[in-house]
């Protein structure tokens, strides 16, 4: 590869001088087989577009696609740069001087248009200098002024040719020049060569050992003049330390290759026409696609649908590439970039990164004014919305913190506040998210409310159970009714039925107690189920009372001194008789002196058992047993 077998080193210095903006632009690229160095000087006063940068990038892009040293190719690159400047000349006419140097690391050519100069030094002397396209240079060529005076003549800035000229571009193409080891190429704008004379350049070259030292020395010489106003200046130095050594060409092989190529061309001529026809058809289809996609993209951009506009501009650009339309390719690339910036800004808003969103929108706003489909006011509106979006996002974030901490009530208030602000400012992405958050928070609050009501109902149910044990049936009914109402409200039907049964049981107990106390006739006001429950409980109470009375009768019998089986038999008979006719117990008790105590106890048992019939029967049996025991003892 040529680059690896050669040694070229480059350095440059470029400053704005006394001005704010530097309208000079230098760039270069080195490939394996060729290198291209381009320097331009902007001649217009546009504050947004930099013509020098535009033409340099255009030329380098074309060179990168197909590196070449041919005049046809290089002149075509300059014409495309000219067309691009004319297309972008909306507010003011964009103009620039340009110098382009191309080398294959063995030879070099250059193309110039304007007054950017190339100085070629060899062995410490000036080998040649490029000519300006100025009135001063024209006067020198006619012999009316010396050539050295072109750097100081008053007409040195009066250019006859430059890029952006409405009459077309007429650049100068220099034939190939053989390079040698130790050569130095110096590219300068007028800000440098107007104030640094050739002798001073040669002096700096003699002292410098590398391109960095040479450019720094030239800058020091320029600034040492201490001019009141210093123009933009640029100097780029290329040191050819070693050139690529080419092998001598074999003429016979070259002639043979030419003959073979001619033969192939003649044979393939017929097929070439068919291929050209197909290519023309494909090109026409691509052109139609480009126009349709561009129109669609413009419509989307005017409607504010920048995501769809971005896609359509991309399709239009690809179609322009297919038909090799460099002008429209750059146009659609620029419009695609504006759309991409707006889409990126929208994406940053969704990610709640408002600083990046503002930066992206600002870049889009600056470029949107150059392209009619884009509405600058729409982009400015997006920028103005960012403050309200940030406030909404802050409230939503605070709500999230409250929600995570379990403070659902305050979280809901913050979400609702943020939702209202999002609706007013048009923050649609936040609206959807806030709707979900509000729903989730309401569900949490409803769940907590239901749990609280369940706890409240449980407490009332427990209170009812406690009051039932304390025989406070009225209070128990009220507690059960309150619990039932809450269970009904929260749709716990099983608990509602349970409370219904508890209420019925309490009402039965209450009615039974009222009947016992004589407040109600027997069975009045009691439902059948309550009566059955009360009777069952009374029967169980009578059985327990009989079991308790039996041990007492046995102890009394033993105290009377009777232990025979006959006595036990008489006892049993007496119990049976007393159970059948309890009215005889008092007369038997009064007839015997020993049975007075037993009669008194039997009477007491009668009084305690007056509330229900079963305990009364048990008391009578005990009394009869005691009386019989007393008679047997006597």
The enclosing domain of 56 has a CATH number of 3.60.40.10
Is 445 part of a structural domain of the chain?
no
Q: Within this chain, do residues 240 and 96 fall inside the same structural domain, yes or no?
A: yes
Same structural domain for residues 510 and 615? no
Mean pLDDT of 263-279: 67
- Which two tokens mark 141? 């060529």
Range in 30-39, 108-117, 124-133, 247-256 the model is least confident about: 247-256
The answer to whether residues 9 and 59 belong to one domain is yes
The whole-number pLDDT of residue 47 equals 83
pLDDT of residue 273: 65
Task: Examine the domain organization and report whether 233 and 134 are in the same domain.
Answer: yes
Conformational region of residue 572, where left means phi above 0, alpha means psi within -120 to 50, and beta covers everything else: alpha
Let me know whether 496 and 580 are in one domain.
no
Print the SS3 string covering 208-228.
Answer: CCCHHHHHHHHHHHHHHCCCC
What is the per-residue pLDDT for 270? 56
Same domain, 522 and 535: no
Inside any domain, residue 545? yes
Of the residues 212, 246, 280, the one at which a domain ends: 246
Distance CA 28, CA 562 (A): 140
Both 46 and 97 in one domain: the answer is: yes
pLDDT of residue 256: 75
Each residue of 318-361: pLDDT tens digit?
888 888 888 888 888 989 999 999 999 998 988 888 899 999 99
Q: Look at residue 204 and tell me if it is in a domain.
A: yes
Question: Is 284 contained in some domain?
Answer: yes
pLDDT value of residue 237: 96
Q: Smallest Cα–Cα separation from 189: which of 241, 251, 119, 122?
A: 119
pLDDT at 92: 85
Residues 328 and 190 in one domain: no
Q: Report helix, strand and coil shares of the chain as percent, to nearest 5.
A: 65, 10, 25
pLDDT (0 to 100) of residue 613: 37
Query: How far, rounded to the nearest angstrom, does the alpha carbon of residue 216 sit from its chain's CA centroid?
Result: 49
Give the whole-angstrom CA distance, residue 134 versus residue 42: 16
- Which residue, 246, 275, 304, sits at the end of a domain? 246
Q: Does the structure show a pLDDT above 80 at 632? A: no
Residues 330 and 341 reside in one and the same domain = yes
- The answer as to whether 290 is a domain residue is yes
Same structural domain, 540 and 604: yes
Q: Tell me the whole-structure pTM to 2 decimals.
A: 0.51
Q: What are the φ/ψ torsions at residue 90 (nearest 5 degrees)?
A: -100, -50
Percent of the chain with pLDDT over 90: 41
The predicted-structure confidence for 45-71, as pLDDT tens digits, reads as follows: 888 889 999 999 999 999 999 899 999
Q: Give 573's pLDDT tier (boundaries 50, 70, 90).
A: very low
User: Average of pLDDT values for 443-450?
Assistant: 88
CB 95 within 8 A of CB 45: no
Residue 317 forms part of a structural domain:
yes
Query: Which domain, by its residues, includes 480?
Result: 450-529
Q: Is the pLDDT of residue 190 over 90?
A: yes
The secondary element (H helix, E strand) that includes residue 375 is: none
Ordered alpha helix ranges (H), 369-427: 376-404, 408-425
Rg (CA), the chain: 57
CA–CA separation, 317 and 326 (whole Å): 9
What's the confidence (pLDDT) of residue 555? 36
Which of these three, 332, 354, 374, is where a domain ends?
Answer: 374
CA 4 to each of CA 1, 56, 80: distance values in angstroms, whole numbers, following the listed order: 6, 26, 32
Looking at the structure, do residues 66 and 7 belong to the same domain, yes or no?
yes
Q: How confident is the model at residue 608 (pLDDT cuts 50, 70, 90)?
A: very low
Say what the pLDDT of residue 296 is: 92
pLDDT tens per residue across span 364-421: 988 888 888 898 888 988 898 888 888 888 888 899 998 988 888 998 999 898 898 8
CB 323 within 8 Å of CB 287: yes
- HEC letters along 536-566: HHHHHHHHHHHHHHHHHHHHHHHHCCCCCHH
Summary mean pLDDT of the chain: 80
Instruction: Give the pLDDT confidence of 77-119 residue by residue, as tens digits.
Output: 999 999 999 888 877 889 999 999 999 999 999 999 999 999 9
Looking at the structure, tell me whether residues 180 and 134 fall in a common domain: yes
The answer to whether residue 392 sits within a structural domain is: no
Average pLDDT on 470-478 reads 89
- C-alpha dihedral sign at 192, 197, 198, 203: negative
Pairing of β 172-178 and β 125-129: unpaired
87 vs 627, residue with greater confidence: 87
In this prediction, residue 594 carries a pLDDT of 40
Cβ neighbours of residue 592 closer than 8 Å, sequence gap 6 or more: 627, 630, 631, 634
Average pLDDT for residues 106-134, to the nearest whole number?
95
Q: What is the mean pLDDT of residues 515-533?
A: 57
Strands 24-30 and 125-129 turn out to be unpaired
């Amino acid at each position: 590869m040529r680059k690896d077998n050669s040694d070229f080193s480059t350095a440059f210095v470029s400053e704005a001088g006394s001005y704010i903006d530097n309208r000079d632009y230098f760039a270069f690229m080195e490939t394996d087989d060729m290198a291209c160095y381009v320097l331009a000087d902007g001649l217009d006063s546009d504050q947004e577009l930099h013509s020098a940068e535009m033409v340099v990038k255009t030329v380098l892009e074309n060179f990168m696609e197909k590196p070449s040293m041919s005049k046809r190719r290089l002149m075509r690159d300059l014409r495309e740069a000219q067309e691009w400047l004319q297309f972008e000349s909306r507010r003011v006419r964009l103009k620039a001087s340009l110098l382009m140097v191309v080398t294959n690391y063995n030879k070099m050519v250059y193309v110039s248009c304007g007054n950017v100069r190339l100085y070629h030094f060899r062995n410490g002397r000036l080998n040649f200098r490029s000519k300006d396209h100025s009135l001063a240079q024209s006067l020198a060529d006619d012999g009316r002024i010396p050539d050295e005076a072109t750097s100081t003549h008053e007409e040195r800035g009066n250019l006859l040719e430059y890029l952006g000229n409405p009459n077309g571009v007429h650049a100068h193409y220099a034939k190939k020049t053989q390079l040698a080891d130790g050569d130095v190429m110096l590219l300068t704008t007028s800000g440098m060569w107007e104030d640094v004379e050739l002798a001073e350049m040669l002096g700096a070259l003699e002292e410098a050992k590398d391109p960095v030292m040479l450019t720094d020395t030239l800058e020091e010489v320029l600034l040492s003049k201490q001019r009141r106003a210093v123009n933009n200046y640029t100097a780029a130095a290329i040191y050819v330390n070693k050139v690529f050594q080419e092998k001598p060409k074999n003429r016979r092989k070259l002639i043979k290759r030419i003959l073979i190529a001619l033969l192939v061309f003649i044979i393939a001529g017929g097929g070439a026409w068919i291929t050209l026809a197909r290519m023309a058809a494909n090109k026409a289809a691509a052109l139609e696609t480009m126009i349709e996609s561009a129109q669609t993209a413009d419509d989307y951009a005017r409607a504010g649908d920048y995501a769809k506009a971005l896609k359509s501009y991309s399709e239009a650009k690809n179609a322009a590439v297919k038909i090799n339309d460099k002008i429209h390719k750059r146009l659609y690339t620029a419009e695609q970039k504006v759309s991409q910036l707006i889409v990126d800004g929208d994406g940053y808003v969704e990610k709640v990164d408002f600083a990046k969103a503002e930066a992206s929108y600002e870049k889009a706003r600056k470029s949107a004014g150059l392209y009619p489909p884009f509405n600058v006011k729409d982009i400015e509106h997006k920028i103005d919305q960012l403050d309200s979006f940030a406030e909404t996002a802050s409230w939503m974030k605070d709500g999230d913190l409250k929600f995570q901490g379990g403070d659902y009530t305050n979280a809901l208030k913050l979400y609702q506040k943020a939702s209202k602000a999002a609706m007013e400012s048009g923050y649609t992405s936040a609206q959807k998210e806030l709707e979900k958050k509000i729903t989730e928070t309401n569900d949490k609050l409803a769940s907590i409310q239901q749990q609280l009501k369940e706890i409240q109902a449980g407490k009332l149910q427990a209170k009812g159970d406690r009051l039932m044990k304390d025989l406070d049936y009225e209070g128990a009914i009220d507690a059960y009714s309150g619990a039932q109402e809450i269970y009904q409200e929260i749709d716990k039907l099983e608990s509602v039925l349970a409370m219904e049964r508890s209420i019925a049981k309490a009402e039965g107990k209450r009615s039974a107690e009222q009947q016992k106390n004589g407040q109600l006739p027997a069975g009045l006001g009691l439902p059948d189920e309550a009566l059955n429950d009360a009777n069952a409980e009374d029967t169980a109470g009578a059985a327990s009372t009989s079991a308790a009375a039996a041990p007492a009768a046995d102890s009394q019998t033993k105290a009377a001194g009777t232990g025979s089986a006959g006595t036990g038999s008489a006892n049993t008979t007496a119990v049976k008789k007393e159970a059948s006719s309890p009215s005889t117990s008092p007369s038997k008790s009064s007839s015997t002196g020993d049975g007075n105590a037993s009669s008194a106890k039997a009477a007491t048992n009668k009084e305690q058992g007056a509330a229900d019939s079963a305990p009364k029967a048990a008391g009578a049996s005990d009394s009869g047993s005691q009386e019989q025991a007393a008679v047997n003892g006597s």
